[in-house]
Amino acid sequence: MPRILDGVAIAATIKQEVAEEVRALGELGIRPGLAAVLVGNVAASEIYVRNKVRICGELGIYSDLITRPATVTTEEMLALVAGLNARSEIDGILVQLPLPSHVDTKALLDAILPAKDVDGLHPVNAGLLQAGRPSLAPCTPAGVIEILRRSDIPIAGQHAVVVGRSDLVGKPAAMLLLHQNATVTICHSKTRDLGAITRQADILVAAIGRAGFITPEMVKPGATIIDVGINRITDQAEFARFFAGDAKREATFAKRGSTLVGDVHPKAFELAGAYTPVPGGVGLLTTAMLMANTVRAAKMRRGL
């Protein structure tokens, strides 16, 4: 039977470690602070941000939730970020994406001080990550490494294949795996004969944003599969394609009208040696690593 890598337990351990670091910093008169910026009324974004603020409170991190209407301009957002850059009690700045289409997201993210860029998206932090120097790494890829490390999955010398090349997940995940001495291949939607490459993977990271994209014939038996995708399924036919015969999932789908599936087809997990489930896998690590990055930023800003 494949081993399920428990994101719930690993995230809980990381948050406990963060809380202990926060207490230790408190003895020095330091309280890490996170500013979360929410624009508009996107239900999913509201849930994500308020959950992050709640966890800050649980761990002893100061948080400031700042909301702006969907009509906000790029200039107004840049002024907001400039103000947060100047606030000494704010160590991390999180701008919840996506932003309204009329807001220049790139300019806004570039305006965040690299030292406060807890999402790890600033070009300076991307360059430091590439160079293997201390930096704030994107939370989801950092969580992927933590899952592997804390589950005692060997990385050094393994062939890791990352499917997806986004700045948020694919590229930094590949770089972090490379720094752990894996041999890394990056694939994407334009890769020829993708399955021939993914079948070589000892560690397969699926981060392409397409439900069930990785099918059983694309997996090397015994591989470790890290499924980064979170896709909501509401169509009955699509649900049947992934979960036909799964009584527990069928009951949940009938009750809620939706369910989650990753970028890996559930049948592909049967070939794995170990895998992260969806839900209950990588997604939980993203918020835990955001908290860890906020504490890291607080310490780095003060030379600790």
Please check whether residues 182 and 277 belong to one and the same domain.
Answer: yes
Domain presence at residue 88: yes
In tens, the pLDDT along 129-166 reads: 999 998 899 999 999 999 999 999 999 999 999 999 99
Say what the pLDDT of residue 266 is.
95
Please check whether residues 56 and 145 belong to one and the same domain.
Answer: no
Please check whether residues 143 and 53 belong to one and the same domain.
Answer: no
- What gap in Å lies between CA 184 and CA 162, rounded to an integer? 7
State the pLDDT confidence band at 248, using cuts at 50, 70 and 90: confident
In tens, the pLDDT along 102-125 reads: 999 999 999 999 999 999 999 999
HSE-CB for 179 with a 13 A CA cutoff: 18
Please check whether residues 40 and 93 belong to one and the same domain.
Answer: yes
Please check whether residues 91 and 149 belong to one and the same domain.
Answer: no
- What gap in Å lies between CA 80 and CA 65, rounded to an integer? 12
Please check whether residues 100 and 45 belong to one and the same domain.
Answer: yes
At what angle are helices 282-301 and 139-150 packed, to 10 degrees? 110
Domain presence at residue 47: yes
Please check whether residues 229 and 107 belong to one and the same domain.
Answer: no
Please check whether residues 158 and 281 belong to one and the same domain.
Answer: yes
Residue-number span of the structural domain to which 202 is assigned: 139-285
**What letter represents residue 110's amino acid?**
D
At what angle are helices 282-301 and 7-26 packed, to 10 degrees? 20
Please check whether residues 180 and 83 belong to one and the same domain.
Answer: no
Domain presence at residue 180: yes
Domain presence at residue 9: no
- What gap in Å lies between CA 232 and CA 163, rounded to an integer? 20
- Domain count across the chain: 2
pTM of the model: 0.93
What CATH number corresponds to the domain at position 95? 3.40.50.10860
Catalytic positions: 52, 96, 119
In tens, the pLDDT along 185-219 reads: 999 989 999 999 999 999 999 999 999 999 999 99
Tokens for 200, please give them.
């070589």
The per-residue pLDDT of the chain, averaged, comes to 95
15 strand-pairing partners: none
Say what the pLDDT of residue 189 is.
86
Domain presence at residue 160: yes
Q: Express as a percent the part of the chain with pLDDT over 70.
A: 100
Tokens for 186, please give them.
């990056």
Please check whether residues 96 and 221 belong to one and the same domain.
Answer: no
Please check whether residues 110 and 232 belong to one and the same domain.
Answer: no
- What gap in Å lies between CA 275 and CA 139, rounded to an integer? 19
